[in-house]
Structure 1
Amino acid sequence: MTETSQPESKRSLSDIQLSVLDLASIRQGGNAAEAFRNSMNLARKVDEWGFNRYWLAEHHSIPGVASSATSVLIGHIASGTSRIRVGSGGIMLPNHAPLVIAEQFGTLESLYPGRIDLGLGRAPGSDQKTSRALRRDIHSGQDFPELLAELRAYFKPDPDDHSRVKAVPGEGLSIPIWLLGSSDFSARLAGQLGLPFAFAGQFAPTYMLPALSLYRQSFRPSAVLDKPYAMVGVQVCAADTDEQAERLATSLYRRFLGLIRNQPTMTLPPVDSMDGYWTPQEKYLVESQLSTAIIGSPATVKAKLERFVELTEADELMILSDAYDQNDRIHSFEIIKNVWRGESK
C-alpha cells in the first residue's frame, strides 16, 4: 500500500529572495550626481534589510537613465555596501567585445569577491543611431550565443594553451552568469545551457508566462545548476494607502507614456490624475505594458505579490520601484520589506 502523495505547500513571500533593479533614474530638476547618491542610499538600505541582489541596467541615450556605464556604477555600489550581491541587469553583450566584459567583471570580482553577478541581455538598450555609436555596426542579436560562448571561455583557465587571449583579471574566477530576456530567445538558451534566467516582467508581461514555461521545459542540468532557477522582474509602487500609491504611480505612467510616444523623459512629478495627459489609446497601451505592476497599500501589495509568486512560480523577485521623491522610493521599499518579512500591519 502506497501513501497518498501530498501536494506541495504553498510558498509564502518569506520563502523566496527579493532583489532590486535600479536604472539610476534622473528626475526632472535633478542630475546624474543626485541619481547616483540616491542609488547608493537605497542600496545601503536594502543591504541592511536583507535583500539578495542590487542590479543595475545598461541603457544609453535616455535622458532619465544614468546607468549607462554599468560596470563603473556596479563598482561604486559594491564599494558602499557590505553584504548584498551587486551586478548587471543587464549588460547588453552585443554592445561590447566579450573580452572587455570579462576583464571588467574580473576586476569587479577581484575587488569584491563573492558579491558580483553578470546578467547578460542581447538587446541594444538603445535606438539604432545610438547602437551605431556604441558598436559602429548593427547586429540582429542572433550572434548572441557565440558572443556568450566567447565570454564564458575567458573565465575558464587553460594553462596548456599559451597562445590564447587571456582575460586578466577574469580567467579562473567564478562569476555567476545570468541570461536576461523579454521573449523566448534567451529563455530557451538559458535552459539549454543550464543557466539561471531572469525575465523582464516589469515591461513585457505578455511573454512572461510562456517564456518562463519554455525555460523550465528546455532546462538541462549543468555544472552551474541542477534545476531551473528563475527570477522575475516586477514593478512595485507601495505607499501607506492605495490612493497615495496610485498618485505616486502617475510618475511611472508618465515615463511609459514618454516611451510610447518615442519621447523618453526624466522621472516626472506625480499628478492627481492622468486625465488630459494621455489619450484613451495611450492609456490602454501604458496599462497593457504595466499590467503586472503592483500598486497599493501594504495589504494590497502583500496580496498581489503573493499572487504574482503563485502565478510565475518565481524563485526570486527583482523589484523595480521608482518615484520622483527619494523618500517615497525608500518608503516603498520599506513597505515591501515589511510585507516580505511579515511585519506589515
Structure 2
Amino acid sequence: MPKTTETTLEINLSALTHNYSYLKSKLESNTNFLAVVKAFAYGSDSVAVAKHLEALGVDYFAVAYTSEGFVLREAGIKTPILVLHPQPTNFKTLIDHCLEPSIYSFKVLDEFISTASHCKQQDYPIHLKFNTGLNRLGFRASDCNNIVEKLKATAAVKAKSIFSHLAASEDLNEKEFTLHQISTFRAVAKNLESLIGYKPWLHMCNTSGVIHYPEAHFDMVRCGIGLYGFGNSANEDQNLNPVASLKSVISQIHKIKPNETVGYNRAFMAEGHQKTATIPIGHADGISRQYGNKQGFVFIKGLKAPIIGNVCMDMIMVDVTNIECSEGDEVIIFDGIHKASTLAESANTISYEILTAISQRVKRKFLK
C-alpha cells in the first residue's frame, strides 16, 4: 500500500461489504435491511457508502436530516430514504426529492399532511415513530386513536411503517427494560393495525438489537454502527471489520530538555530529556481536546505514543522518546488493529463520537 503522506481517512469498502453480509446473515430472508448513513455515513462518506450498499442490494437508507437525504438523491441514489428527524420547514424539499419522513408528534403530522395535500400527493409514505422508553422522540401508545383519525381524514399520506428505538440493546444488564420496550411496541403496533385497517412494516432493532433480540427483527432492521465495524461488544467486534482508518505523518521531531514545556498553556513539562513528534491533525479534524495530556495516543512503528500537552486546532504532539522514528513516518490514529473504540475509551467516550467527529477537511481515500 502506498505510503501515507498527509492526514487521510481511508475507507475500506470491502470491510463494508463484510459487515453488511455478516449482519444480513442474522436475519430471515424476508427481513428488510435499512442502512443508516447519517452524519456522513458515521464520519466516512455518505455518497460512496450509499452507492456501495445500493449495489449490494440494501432495502432502505436512513439519514437524520432532509439535507442529508437531498445529497444522496443528487448523487443518484434511488433506494428509499427515511429521514429520522425532519423539520417542517423542509417538508416541501423532502417531498420534491421523494424522501420519507419520520412522524413523531401531532404537530409534525398535521404540518406534513398539510404540505403533502398542498403538493397534491396521494398515499405519500410516512413512518410513525412511537416512544417506548427512550423518551427522545415519538408518539405515546395512547395517541393511536387520534393518529388514525387524522390518517383516515386524508388521502395525502399513508403509513409505510410503525417503528420505535431501543434504549439499551447493547447492555444485557438492561434486558428486562429492553424486553418491556419490545412488548410495548408489539401492543402499539397491534392496536394501530386494527384501527387503521392495513399492516404497515414494523421495525425496532438497531445493530445491537439485531445481534441480541432476533425476536424483534420484525419486517425491517436499522443498522448503523455495525456497518462501520463496531458491534458494541468485544465479542461482536471480532466479527466485524472497521471501515475507517485514520492516518497521518510526522511533520517534525523535537528534542526537549528537562523542564521545557510543550504546547499551549505549557500543559506538558519534560521531566528529563525527551523526544516529541508533531502531527498535522487537531481538534478541527476531530481529535478533541479531551485526548490531550496523555488521555489519548497514536501508533508509530507499531508502538503507542501518548498525546502530550493540549490538542491544538491543527496539530497534536506525541511522546516518541522510546520510538525510533523520523520525520515523514506514518502515524496511525486508528485502523483495523488499533481500533477507534479503544482510543475513544481512553477519553471516556464511544466509537460513534470519534468516527462522526472526523472533519470533512480530512482527505478521504477509498479502498476496494
Larger radius of gyration: 2
Structure having the higher helix fraction is 1
Report the TM-score when normalising by structure 1: 0.41
TM-score normalised according to structure 2 size? 0.39
The structure with the largest strand share of the pair is: 2
